[in-house]
């Protein structure tokens, strides 16, 4: 690790002092507010409320380098700390795949669990002639420049990747010819599409709910394994014949050198939260879809996601 010193200002929940009980800590690799902080605070609270830990979970905010500071800190200084979990998301694995954390690699930690996801979506304006993914893919095959996508991430980011994965699954290989315009967030991306400046928008479900309700956009697909509760009228890409799952998952990694027993322990605790009625309420209130993968299942899934992201990033020139 070269790029980051591992100093941080900690924002800490109240801890019980003088107990030998497990003093679990969750690092949120960002300032208070936002997705990683939400993941640590909500899951941390439920771990305690459900009796999975016997002290309140300490929350440490460690902003820097888009998650890179917390990653470096975990690898360099906490590599065998069995009481530590670190909030992560699709942004974490995308940045690792694209070498955004310097010489850091995903195998320097263990990926222990995902506990919900903001589903990826591809939408068009309500008056678009494209009614489904086949229409979109066929239009691009016929004229790659005819469909421009707007998304809330920079070129090469996760929003950019979503339609490219669909196109590749549909047999279209000339992905560098696909137009993508990165703007400042999902609302701006939808505005571009509704206004006719782009033909489609790529983003997350939470970004489009209001626009769906107002009838300004039509969702061609949600990029989940199953239809999303509350949005059952939106078909998945998979049921349309495109083997693509692209969700902004919320989850955790743990230090690499903890024991297999401690890894399994954390997987069990995260599974217990995922299975609880309390988490279902939190998830639904915050626009997250069910998405639970824990233990080796999640580790294997992340390994594949990173390999796919690396390959796609090389094809579009984000990395060499």
pLDDT at 9 over 80: no
Domain-located, residue 187: yes
Residue ranges making up the domain that contains 258 = 25-117+248-315
φ/ψ of 251, rounded to 5, equals -165, -150
Domain boundary among 181, 215, 240: 240
Domain-located, residue 231: yes
Same domain, 183 and 202: yes
CATH of the domain at 177: 3.40.190.10
pTM of the model: 0.83
Same domain, 100 and 165: no
Residue 253 tokens read as 């990694």
For residue 248, list its beta bridge partners.
Answer: 118
**pLDDT tens digits for range 186-232:** 889 999 999 999 999 999 998 898 899 999 999 999 999 999 988 99
Same domain, 166 and 212: yes
pLDDT of the residue at 11: 41
- With tokens 């297999």, the residue in question is 260
Share of the chain above pLDDT 90, in %: 83
Domain-located, residue 227: yes
Same domain, 235 and 294: no
Residue 178 tokens read as 């696909």
Domain-located, residue 77: yes
**Cα separation of 140 and 288, whole Å?**
31
Average pLDDT, rounded, for the chain: 91
Same domain, 131 and 217: yes
Domain boundary among 189, 222, 240: 240
CATH of the domain at 107: 3.40.190.150
Same domain, 109 and 255: yes
Same domain, 254 and 109: yes
Same domain, 75 and 57: yes
**pLDDT tens digits for range 230-283:** 899 999 999 999 999 999 999 999 999 999 999 999 999 999 999 999 999 999
Split into its structural domains, the chain has a count of 2
Same domain, 221 and 125: yes
Domain boundary among 184, 216, 240: 240
Residue 151 tokens read as 């998304």
DSSP state of 57: P
Q: 159: exposed, middle or buried (C-beta count within 10 Å: 0-12, 13-18, 19+)? A: buried
């Amino acid at each position: 690790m070269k790029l980051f010193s591992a100093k941080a200002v900690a924002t800490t929940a109240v801890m019980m002092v003088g107990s030998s009980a497990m003093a679990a800590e969750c690092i949120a690799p960002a300032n208070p507010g936002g997705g990683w902080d939400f993941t640590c605070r909500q899951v941390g609270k439920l771990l305690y409320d459900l009796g999975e830990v016997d002290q309140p979970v300490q929350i440490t905010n460690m902003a820097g380098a888009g998650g890179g500071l917390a990653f470096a800190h975990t690898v360099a200084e906490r590599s065998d700390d069995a009481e530590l979990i670190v909030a992560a998301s699709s942004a974490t694995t995308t940045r690792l795949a694209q070498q955004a954390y310097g010489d850091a690699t995903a195998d320097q930690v263990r990926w222990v669990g995902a506990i919900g996801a903001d589903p990826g979506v591809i939408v068009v304006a309500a008056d678009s002639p494209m009614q489904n993914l086949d229409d979109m893919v066929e239009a691009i095959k016929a004229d790659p420049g005819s469909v421009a996508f707007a998304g809330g991430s920079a070129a090469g980011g996760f929003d950019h990747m979503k339609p490219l994965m669909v196109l590749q699954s549909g047999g279209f290989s000339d992905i560098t010819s696909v137009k993508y315009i990165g703007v400042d967030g999902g609302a701006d991306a939808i505005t571009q599409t509704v206004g006719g400046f782009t033909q489609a928008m790529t983003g997350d479900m939470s970004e489009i709910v209001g626009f769906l309700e107002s009838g300004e956009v039509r969702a061609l697909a949600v990029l989940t394994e199953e239809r999303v509760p509350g949005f059952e009228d939106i078909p998945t890409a998979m049921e349309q014949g495109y083997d693509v799952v692209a969700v902004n998952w919320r989850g955790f990694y743990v230090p690499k050198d903890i024991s297999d027993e401690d890894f399994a322990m954390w997987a069990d605790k995260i599974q217990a939260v995922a299975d609880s009625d309390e988490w279902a309420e939190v998830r639904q209130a915050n626009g997250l879809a069910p998405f639970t993968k824990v233990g080796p299942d999640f580790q294997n899934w992340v390994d594949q996601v990173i390999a796919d992201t690396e390959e796609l990033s090389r094809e579009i020139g984000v990395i060499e």
